[in-house]
Structure 1
Amino acid sequence: MKLGAYTACLHDRSLDETLKILGELGLTSAEINAGGFIPAPHLPIDDLLASAGAREDYLGRFAQAGITLTGLNVNGNPLNPDPEVGPKHAADLHRAIDVAAALGVKRIVAMSGLPAGEPGGTVGNWVVNPWDSQYLDVLDYQWQQVAVPFWKDVDARAAAADVKICIEMHPQNLVFNPPTLQRLVEQTNASHVGAELDPSHLFWQGMDPVACVEHLGGLVFHAAAKDTRINPDHVKLYGVLDDRFTRTAADADPLNIGGKNTLNQWPKNAAWEFVAVGRGHSVKDFWVPFLQALHAVDPDMAVNIEHEDQEFDQVEGLRLAADNLLAAGARAGI
């Protein structure tokens, strides 16, 4: 099993400096962004597609640092009905498959996407409580007319490239839990689409990530190491569907995530928040059994830290997460 990091939190550093940092932290795996919501400064896509020599040089930089390139990440919304967003994110996913095949990388992390609720709609519609039959009509449209055809095509592309697409079960997507992941695989008859098991988004929805791994079994292709802390005093008032996000002011350099869309600000006194490995759930009680469950599915699986803990800077947060992840790996005997 490879324990490493997704390098998006170090996009202000060069690739070589980033790999050096990962190695100094005792990590052996890297996941590199390939498009979607954010740019890909650590992946010179055009050069890699154009030149075998460029690919050899690129992979050589990883080998020299003692790091294995275990995945590309292209999280975005390829089903977004906004013509400035959906087609670009879909093209990024298609191109990531080509780059992965050229590099010999076998895993691509993606999101399932979220379409509009009806033909001609311009904004995604996330239905999670379809108590009224009209919402089942929305889901039928989203799945049968948009998601299934798109993902059948992606699965065919991935199979031809010998690459597996690992879907992060993420809210504001059609696939956000094990049943919706299984639904996508079954309805597309996919052979090369499965799950990236990121426990952080499962925790705040009330799921047990270890039970999810055991339930999905061989559909788990890849994993993330990101923790979530539930804040009991705040969740009593706001619940986990806390909508108190605010817009990022223009003079605060909001992060563009496609078209005219920007990343919003997290609520104060949040009901839950992303934290470094071990700061939401203990190494002994969660991270050890989580790694053991993943290892039972695939002893060669990569587990990459995704650092989004706002209380630490990039390297401090990575160091804390790495220390706890490596301690969990040692205790898990993997």
Structure 2
Amino acid sequence: MKLGVYNAILHDRTLPEAIEVVANLGLTGLELNSGGFLPAVHIPSFEDILTSDAARDDFLGLFAGTGVSIAGLNCNGNPLHPNPTIRDKHAEDVRRSIRLANRLGQHRVITMSGLPGGEPGASQPNWIVNAWNSAALDVLDYQWEVAARFWKEIDRLAHDLDVKVALELHPQNLVFNPADIRTLVERTAATNIGVELDASHLFWQQMDPVAVVKNLGPLVFQAAAKDVRVNVENAAIYGVLDNRFRRLSPTEPRTNLGGDEWANEWPKDAAWDFVALGKGHDTAYWTEFLRALHAVDPDMLVNIEHEDTELGRLEGLEVAASVLLAADAALHASLRQ
């Protein structure tokens, strides 16, 4: 396994400083944000790398001798958004990330499937959570048509440039479970589209990431190590579809998601929270998660994503890295037996 960190939590540091943090954690990979919801903070020479061998070599030189290498590019966003300001930017970020991956000798781009509106002319995405009525299936029929057109194009580009596009199974996207990724692959005849197995979003949907890895097999291209703690008393009242978010005002610190869309404040007594590895599931569980991934690809890239608000940036990475490394050691010890 190749264990690393997704760099968004280290955007407050320069790239050399972020690389040093990863090396000091005993990890070997750094997944770089390359657009979408977040800017490509650690790739300031993005455009130059696409056209200049010297710029590419200078960028790769920052990793030389550090023991840390690039572990995929991440451009999570909504390339199917009905608002063209958001859609066009995020869709082009996917294309540019695939081209950049090829230039950097990388073979993985992580993103999301995206989510269209519910009908032509819509202005906002429409996530069908439970298609119990015929009108909901009409919406899904339209959304799959939109998705298939875009992802056929992306699959061709990825195939031509020897890049695998790994879609995070993230709610509020058209593709958020194993059935959906199979539908997308079937509708597009895709060869280079699969899954980034982020365990966290499966946990809160009451899915078992180990079972999902075994179910999807070679469709799993990459993985994210992020835990979830279900707050049982709150979940018993509000359910895991807890929707009590608060809109942040322009005077408060907030994250732009494209156009005039912003991340909201998480419920204070939430039904579930993102937490560092070990705070939701123990080392034994993560050992089995790595075992399932290892069976698919012994060189699978597995990167920590830190979103635990109870821990600082470095503190959270240290907690997660200690659990991930212990799980990896336990896995390899068992394989030697």
TM norm. shorter chain > 0.5: yes
1:70–1:106: 8 Å Cα contact kept in structure 2?
no
**1:57 Cα shift?**
1.7
In structure 1, how many angstroms separate the alpha carbons of the residues matched to 2:314 and 2:98? Answer: 30
In structure 1, how many angstroms separate the alpha carbons of the residues matched to 2:205 and 2:255? Answer: 26
1:297 aligns with 2:296: yes
Q: Secondary structure of the equivalent of 1:120? A: coil
- 1:23 — aligned with what? 23
Q: Deviations over 1:187-238 (max 9, x none)?
A: 1110000000000000000101000000000000000000000010000000
- 1:326 — aligned with what? 325
**1:58 Cα shift?**
1.3
- 1:148 — aligned with what? 148
Structure 2 length as normaliser, TM-score?
A: 0.97
- 1:201 — aligned with what? 201
- 1:230 — aligned with what? 230
**1:83 Cα shift?**
1.6
In structure 2, how many angstroms separate the alpha carbons of the residues matched to 1:64 and 1:265? Answer: 41
Q: Secondary structure of the equivalent of 1:72? A: strand
Q: Deviations over 1:88-117 (max 9, x none)?
A: 000100100110011111000000000000
Q: Deviations over 1:270-292 (max 9, x none)?
A: 000100011110011x1000000
- 2:315 — aligned with what? 316
In structure 2, how many angstroms separate the alpha carbons of the residues matched to 1:139 and 1:24? Answer: 46
- 1:188 — aligned with what? 188
* Letter matched to residue 204 of structure 1: W
- 2:138 — aligned with what? 137
**% identical aligned pairs:** 56
**1:239 Cα shift?**
0.1
In structure 2, how many angstroms separate the alpha carbons of the residues matched to 1:306 and 1:38? Answer: 14
1:279 aligns with 2:279: yes
- 2:77 — aligned with what? 76
**1:257 Cα shift?**
1.0
Segments of 4+ in structure 1 off by > 2 A?
A: none
In structure 2, how many angstroms separate the alpha carbons of the residues matched to 1:199 and 1:23? Answer: 24
In structure 1, how many angstroms separate the alpha carbons of the residues matched to 2:64 and 2:301? Answer: 16
* Letter matched to residue 328 of structure 2: G
In structure 1, how many angstroms separate the alpha carbons of the residues matched to 2:301 and 2:179? Answer: 23
In structure 1, how many angstroms separate the alpha carbons of the residues matched to 2:197 and 2:84? Answer: 30
Summarize the alignment of residues 149-188 of structure 1 with structure 2, pairs less than 5 Å apart. Answer: 149-188=149-188
* Letter matched to residue 255 of structure 2: L
1:38 aligns with 2:38: yes
CA RMSD after TM alignment: 0.8
Q: Secondary structure of the equivalent of 2:309? A: coil
In structure 2, how many angstroms separate the alpha carbons of the residues matched to 1:62 and 1:235? Answer: 44
**1:54 Cα shift?**
1.4
Q: Deviations over 1:68-102 (max 9, x none)?
A: 21200000000001121011000100100110011
Q: Secondary structure of the equivalent of 2:65? A: helix
Q: Secondary structure of the equivalent of 1:55? A: helix
Q: Deviations over 1:91-149 (max 9, x none)?
A: 100100110011111000000000000011110000021111010000000002x0001
* Letter matched to residue 329 of structure 2: A
Segments of 5+ residues of structure 1 without an aligned counterpart are: none
1:245 aligns with 2:245: yes
Summarize the alignment of residues 207-218 of structure 1 with structure 2, pairs less than 5 Å apart. Answer: 207-218=207-218
1:31–1:70: 8 Å Cα contact kept in structure 2?
yes
- 1:125 — aligned with what? 126
Q: Deviations over 1:48-71 (max 9, x none)?
A: 112111111211211221112120
In structure 2, how many angstroms separate the alpha carbons of the residues matched to 1:14 and 1:209? Answer: 33
**1:251 Cα shift?**
1.9
In structure 1, how many angstroms separate the alpha carbons of the residues matched to 2:316 and 2:51? Answer: 36
Q: Secondary structure of the equivalent of 2:246? A: coil
**1:249 Cα shift?**
2.6
| Greater CA drift, 40-49 or 146-155 | 40-49
Structure 1 length as normaliser, TM-score?
A: 0.98
**1:248 Cα shift?**
1.6
**1:268 Cα shift?**
1.2
